[in-house]
A and B are shown apart, each in its own frame.
Chain A
């Protein structure tokens, strides 16, 4: 091909002269536009290769034998018969991997396979690698395990009362081995302020456990090659932490361990720590020298869990007569399940994350996480704060009711505002909550609806905040939280090496938009290579809504280094000033004279000629002065907070208790929408997930500790016919530290669905739903009880409807 042909090919899709002139007028060329994802077509054509889609030569399949008892001592395990089965290559048990692990370094209390004690039905006991799944399954039946069944503690309050049956050894001798974590913090004098309040509302709330239910079951493949290097492909959202834990538990040189995260079929927090299958495939490969795969059954996914903690929350909220919050006192018991997981953090979050968007004069909380003999709870989307957010927003609704203040108005009156500190000393910068409230109010036609819809129909409002990443890594270090490396080809193609985990939220796309914005290359010139610990710089993982904020900033940092070199090199060739040179739409051009231009690849070539091979790294680390200095003051502090307000409209069938959520208006302050399509997708997906928890999901157990419903038939997640209409209203507060002003969008908008629906049910039929889920039987019973009280003259008929006839017929 001749040079001219190269040039023609390169500029075919580039901006025209006219478009370039228009581009100069715009603040951004790529950011803020409704663009495609980088992985959309691969996914919609079935070409994206997920972990279970990988088949390696000679690959073995493994299965894990699981405890049928909720609590049992393992007296002996005999694998002789299993090993004798034709086609079986290896069997491992707990004693083969006797190193405890856990995502939080201070609470390592799990083993890849149980040693001595099994703590829930489904706890892994042994693993078999065989030529195929059927053979591995058959071998499981040939493993003889002798158990001594121990009393199973399934209720957290019961577990607290029975320290003589410790699920774990107490940390301190004589302590209660069933207490996983206890946190008590007070800011101001909450007791005194409650006394000084004009109105005090007390309530007990129960948030039922729920689970992530990503459609892709967990899957991992391990392979240790002849040279001793171990690679694990896994559906994980924390490759970096998995990398470290694999090396530590298996006693390998961390430099000889590689973790690769293929495209992942949903995570939502359910894949954010190491699991038994990852250790087992690695160990079994180390023994057999062959690749080994484990794919969980759906039932095993329910046992792996790490979902929403059931929480029992007792709240007292005091306010003055104008509705301003003077005090909040919260006492919370968290049902942690069998292990710690992120539980230390969850326990703090259950108190620390609710101090915005409302100003509180004083705040006290006491949270206790308790072990029970059930699958382990952990972080699910909106980690730790979805439950207390439900309580606090319903409390606020009750105060508004008591003081006869409109629920949106009472939220305005308690506004925390921007550039301030919360009662627990978190620094808050940008804050678009007021705009969120206004938009939700306007779009939902709130004032025409609240208390004005006929009996059975109602609206409710709620509003939370959420973190854009946590301020500190899970293991203490001062290194960057996120980093990106860019490599520029002479063709103009830019490769982005990033440790960030694309879990469906669009983080790969986000990086591509940033590179296209900064370097002026067409979007399809950007290649993203993410989450491969051999090739990509460290990012801590896709959790706590940190990726856009942190990895986005890291990417801007890297891209601007290259941009500077390119502009200087081009400016030199034109005899112009570097600041005159713009990069956009496939060109480097003179911003003052758009006729002066060259294809971006030529600009890169000039820069390479002058500076040598083009490449750059960028990183992000959090500011360190944005929280209080008290113990635990760092947990929950974030460089920026998102804000949301939902209005939900419901129709309640008073005879049956069925609640139809008709619509949710989602107003969310995401700082800046880097791509509104993706932001809306996060808002809608979050609101949907909250709705699902509110109405139907319940991760519960039978008396023996057996999971009630470990299938997608019996664990109800909404179908298309159940899901309400949703309208996304993006609010852009432009955060001073976020990438182009962006903050999180993927977790905050889950929170308000639940209290907004609860408050809407109250508006519809006058019953307070303080326990989740708002299932037909629960709502029906509440309506019946209210009907009986109305009949007895204790309550006025709600919305002037006729008192229910023959309650309970």
Chain B
């Protein structure tokens, strides 16, 4: 399973990106094939799990809570 976090580098979203990545590393270390961090622009903060977009700042607004993303990862593991 792979998680991708696309973040707006020009907006200074690195802290939120690293915080989320760290939360996933602690929670799912043995389940993840990788966490990819993609610097982008235009106010982006997207998180996908195995290709499924589980959070989009543009679509959903704001940053996701770590619990929301963890639940999405857990659902993939159990599904």
- Is B one of A's binding partners? no
Chain A positions near chain B (C-beta within 8 angstroms): none
Q: Which residues of B contact A (CB under 8 A)?
A: none
